[in-house]
């Protein structure tokens, strides 16, 4: 039922302009990395792709997630949300590649997944032949690999370009305004760092999660093959499904905000600690304060003061951000 994601074709690394990279709408970039040697190796065979990665591997350990065959590749919570349905182990990338090869023909293999692993640390030199070139941006570049796995809908703060280097992946996206309809799980206890939707997209339980029917009306989807990429804007919910026995993905994360800005998740957690449980009238007053100073801020809220007196109400720079962070930490630790 999901609508297809808008597509562009014919672009090559280096062709991505600011209009695309600052967009608030997702787009599939067909064939963006088709000329990568890693993509060509994956099209030749799983062994060729594995051997290509081994050329750059220097032995650092990675974190692998391992799930029993019965989870069907869906990395998630256990039944009562007291833990997870998988184990996390530290191992070598070479061992993971060997296990993926050994399990390729299994009808019901265990789920094997290596999540976000920094390429420059784990596979130094790989980007010299396989990169997008994002200009002045300095993205965090990661590799992901495994067999048939599913990652529940979640959002990321940075903007994201994900490149399918081997295998096929299906992306299902929901805009940020569908938060209320996605039935998000715990904020402070998550399988991989980000809060996730509790809905199983393969078999959504609309009796338990009735509002998900509304989220489905806003869903966007695309299936990507080797060399294809997708731009996912900040805060868009995305479900990622690897469709083949062997899959490699390379992704690029970057933020449009200055590096001195902290993650807004810190503000959310502090608001839960300090605002959420206030009496209703006080909470309403604080809503107005947040609107005035944060969400509706346009500079007029401090225009009546001399510029030198505006301090944190003036545009922040690295020095003021450090001062403000220190003040916050001092107050929390009293």
Whether the predicted pLDDT of 1 surpasses 90: no
Last residue of a domain, one of 254, 282, 300: 254
Backbone φ/ψ region at 81: left (φ over 0), alpha (ψ -120 to 50), beta: left
Q: What is the pTM of this model?
A: 0.95
Domain match, 325 and 215 both: no
- Percent of all residues in the chain with a pLDDT value above 90, rounded to a whole number: 94
Confidence of residue 153 (pLDDT cuts 50, 70, 90): very high
Our CA dihedral for 161, 163, 168, 171, rounded to 10 degrees, sits at 0
User: Residue 259: inside a domain, yes or no?
Assistant: no
Alpha-carbon distance of 284 to 278, in angstroms, equals: 9
Q: Is-contact 248 42, C-beta < 8 A?
A: yes
Number of separate domains in the chain: 2
Last residue of a domain, one of 254, 275, 299: 254
pLDDT for the residue numbered 14: 86
**Mean pLDDT value of segment 105-124:** 96
pLDDT for the residue numbered 133: 87
Last residue of a domain, one of 222, 254, 286: 254
pLDDT in tens, 163-201: 999 999 999 999 999 999 999 999 999 999 999 999 999
Give the dihedral sign, CA 216/176/269/191. positive
Confidence of residue 17 (pLDDT cuts 50, 70, 90): very high
Confidence of residue 22 (pLDDT cuts 50, 70, 90): very high
Domain match, 83 and 227 both: yes
Alpha-carbon distance of 118 to 94, in angstroms, equals: 16
What angle (nearest 5°) sits at the alpha carbon of residue 55, between those of residues 51 and 56? 125
pLDDT for the residue numbered 173: 98
- For 314, the domain range is 264-332
Whether the predicted pLDDT of 2 surpasses 90: no
**Mean pLDDT value of segment 132-148:** 94
């Amino acid at each position: 039922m999901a609508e297809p994601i808008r597509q562009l074709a014919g672009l090559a690394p280096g062709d991505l302009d600011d209009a695309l990279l600052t967009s608030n709408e997702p787009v599939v970039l067909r064939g963006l990395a088709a000329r990568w040697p890693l993509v060509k190796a994956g099209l030749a065979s799983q062994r060729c792709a594995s051997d290509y990665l081994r050329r750059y591997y220097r032995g650092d350990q990675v974190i692998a997630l391992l799930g029993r065959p019965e989870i069907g590749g869906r990395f998630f919570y256990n039944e009562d949300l007291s833990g997870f349905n998988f184990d996390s182990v530290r191992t070598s990338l070479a061992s993971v590649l060997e296990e993926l090869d050994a399990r390729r023909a299994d009808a019901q293999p265990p789920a094997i997944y290596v999540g976000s692993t920094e390429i420059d640390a784990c596979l130094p030199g790989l980007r010299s032949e396989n990169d997008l070139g994002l200009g002045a941006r300095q993205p965090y570049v990661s590799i992901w690999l495994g067999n048939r796995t599913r990652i529940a809908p979640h959002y990321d703060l940075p903007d994201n370009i994900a490149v399918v280097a081997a295998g096929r992946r299906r992306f299902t996206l929901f805009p940020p305004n569908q938060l209320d309809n996605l039935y998000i799980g715990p904020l402070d206890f998550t399988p991989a760092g980000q809060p996730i939707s509790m809905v199983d997209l393969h078999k959504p339980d609309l009796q338990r999660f009735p509002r998900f029917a509304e989220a489905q009306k806003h869903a966007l989807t695309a299936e990507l093959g080797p060399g294809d990429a997708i731009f996912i804007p900040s805060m868009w919910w995305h479900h990622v499904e690897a469709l083949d026995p062997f899959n490699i993905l390379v992704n690029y994360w970057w933020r449009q905000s200055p590096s001195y800005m902290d993650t807004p998740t810190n503000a959310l957690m502090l608001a839960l600690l300090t605002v959420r449980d206030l009496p209703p009238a006080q909470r309403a007053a604080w809503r107005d304060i947040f609107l005035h100073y944060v969400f509706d801020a346009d500079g007029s809220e401090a225009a009546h003061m001399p510029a030198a007196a505006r301090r944190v109400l003036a545009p922040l720079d690295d020095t003021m951000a450090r001062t403000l962070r220190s003040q916050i930490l001092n107050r929390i630790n009293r």
